[in-house]
Structure 1
Amino acid sequence: MKTVTVRNLVIGEGAPKIIVSLMGIDIATVKSEALAYREADFDILEWRVDHFSDVSSTDAVLEAARAIRDVIADKPLLFTFRSAKEGGEQALSVENYIALNRAAVDSGLVDMIDLELFTGDELVKATVEHAHAKNVSVIMSNHDFHKTPAAEEIIQRLRKMQELGADIPKIALMPQNKTDVLTLLGATLEMQERYADRPIITMSMAKTGVISRLSGEVFGSAATFGAVKKASAPGQISVADLRTVLTILHQA
């Protein structure tokens, strides 16, 4: 399986990489959060742009991105506008969503973008091609904050992301019970062993699914999300605790 290298970080080998999410609502809080995160032990900073109040202004978004880049220096930066339909804070038209991601790619300030699978195949493929032309990697994602589908459906979505050119397919699902967590873990293992030719990221959310955030190296998930301050999704644990457990499992 090939790995994905972003700056000096190799995703898909060794222990799962830790992603933390920055959720400032304006440039001032974006800057202060980035500064507060600087000493935390994480690998990738995700900027959740759907929390940013002035998202309709490309200039304001890029000014904020530049402020983040200045603070985090050589850490990989993941640009994510999570749509309202997949658990985000705001809604954008498909046209504006694609335009926002393309502007981020063109800025030279971000290393990765998150592109939602169900945006439309042709738009997704074209945006992936545009990102790759600018040496920006694509995490293609799907989120369901209500349920966990059957393993076959989970695998089908992840394989579709591969087909559309994702560098890293990602899926996050809400378990209704512990069996749903096992479904997600089993699907992750089957995808990783039978179909994946690149790193994947999977997680089962909420307290019920927390084991999936820790066991990625065992079942085949290449990254996990932790919290520095406020969690960006239910079930996230602190980056310090996360690093401790991931290291124990890696060295076992």
Structure 2
Amino acid sequence: MIPIQVDGRPLAGGRLPAVCAPLVARSRAALASEAAAVAAKQPDLLEWRVDFFEAIGDTGEVLAAAADLRAASAGIPILFTRRCQREGGQPIALDEPQVLALYEAVAASGCADLMDFEMGNEAAHVAQVRALTRRHGLPLVLSFHDFQYTPDEAELRARFEQAQRLEADVAKVAVMPQAMEDVHRLLGATLQASRTLGIPVISMAMGGLGAVTRLCGGAFGSALTFAVGAAASAPGQIPIEDVRAALAVLQRATAA
């Protein structure tokens, strides 16, 4: 099981899972305020979901907000994410070439430590993001989200493998379970991927049924879990204080 590397060091000192808190503020001032409040809870990673940001169409405003976020983050690494609407993101007034230009500008600014992009996007766009993150020395998370159902075991395995084939630094798979059998299947696929792939993997089942995966996913090889610092970015996320407490219990029990 492999931890996520940030700036050449393992995130959270190599502890699995590390804890990421999303930031979903819609304005520059609100983002800085949200970041300061969430950073005080000491997650291992902050994810800026820029698709929530109302001024996403103004690159200068995005870069200014990114600089404010960096200043408010108390040294916590920042994952920059535009979640596409097809995979649960907010509608935005940018076409895909404009999104790619925004990724380039943010990467060049030095205000992000990792970037996330959906592996299901056009192959040329995935390759372009892969190239720009390498050029700027940023790890790339290639992700897949299904907010409707949980694919079968073969497809789950294929999604993790697809991320590695596309030269991701981290593979992420998030799905929506309809029954506990779906949760079991996701955890099994995560364990298999964490043992066979050469990159870290992240997984979670969303919604109430999947909440258990946000607490025990690390035992099955998931390198990161998402927890609420101020506001959730996906269904089923749990407050960071509760996640930390549950992880501490699990880690003590498994170390005994």
Number of aligned positions between the proteins:
251
Percentage identity across aligned positions?
37
**Which letter does structure 2 place at the counterpart of 1:128?**
R
Q: Deviations over 1:59-113 (max 9, x none)?
A: 0100000000011142100111111111111244221221221211111110011
Using the TM superposition, give the Cα deviation of residue 47 of structure 1 relative to its aligned residue in structure 2, in angstroms: 0.4
Q: Is the 8 A contact 1:128 1:138 kept in 2?
A: yes
In 1, the alpha carbon distance for the partners of 2:122 and 2:11 equals 27
1:48 is matched with which residue? 49
Q: Is the 8 A contact 1:94 1:119 kept in 2?
A: no
How do 1:227-246 residues align onto structure 2 when only pairs under 5 Å count? 227-246=228-247
Q: Deviations over 1:106-160 (max 9, x none)?
A: 1111001111111122321232122112111111111111010001101101111
1:143 is matched with which residue? 145
1:157 is matched with which residue? 159
1:168 is matched with which residue? 170
2:99 is matched with which residue? 97
In 1, the alpha carbon distance for the partners of 2:9 and 2:42 equals 14
In 1, the alpha carbon distance for the partners of 2:192 and 2:104 equals 33
1:5 is matched with which residue? 5
Query: What residue ranges of structure 1 are gaps of 5+ in the alignment?
Result: none
Q: What SS does the corresponding residue of 1:54 show, helix, strand or coil? A: coil
1:63 is matched with which residue? 64
**Structure 1 range deviating more: 81-90 or 30-39:** 30-39
1:203 is matched with which residue? 204
In 2, the alpha carbon distance for the partners of 1:35 and 1:120 equals 35
Q: What SS does the corresponding residue of 1:118 show, helix, strand or coil? A: coil
Q: What SS does the corresponding residue of 2:178 show, helix, strand or coil? A: coil
**Structure 1 range deviating more: 77-86 or 115-124:** 115-124
Normalised by the length of structure 1, the TM-score is: 0.94
In 2, the alpha carbon distance for the partners of 1:31 and 1:3 equals 28
Shift >2 Å, 4+ stretches: 1-5, 11-15
Normalised by the length of structure 2, the TM-score is: 0.93
In 2, the alpha carbon distance for the partners of 1:93 and 1:173 equals 25
Using the TM superposition, give the Cα deviation of residue 15 of structure 1 relative to its aligned residue in structure 2, in angstroms: 2.7
Closer/same/farther in 2, CA of residues 246 and 128 from structure 1, 3 Å limit: same
Query: What residue ranges of structure 2 are gaps of 5+ in the alignment?
Result: none
Using the TM superposition, give the Cα deviation of residue 9 of structure 1 relative to its aligned residue in structure 2, in angstroms: 5.4
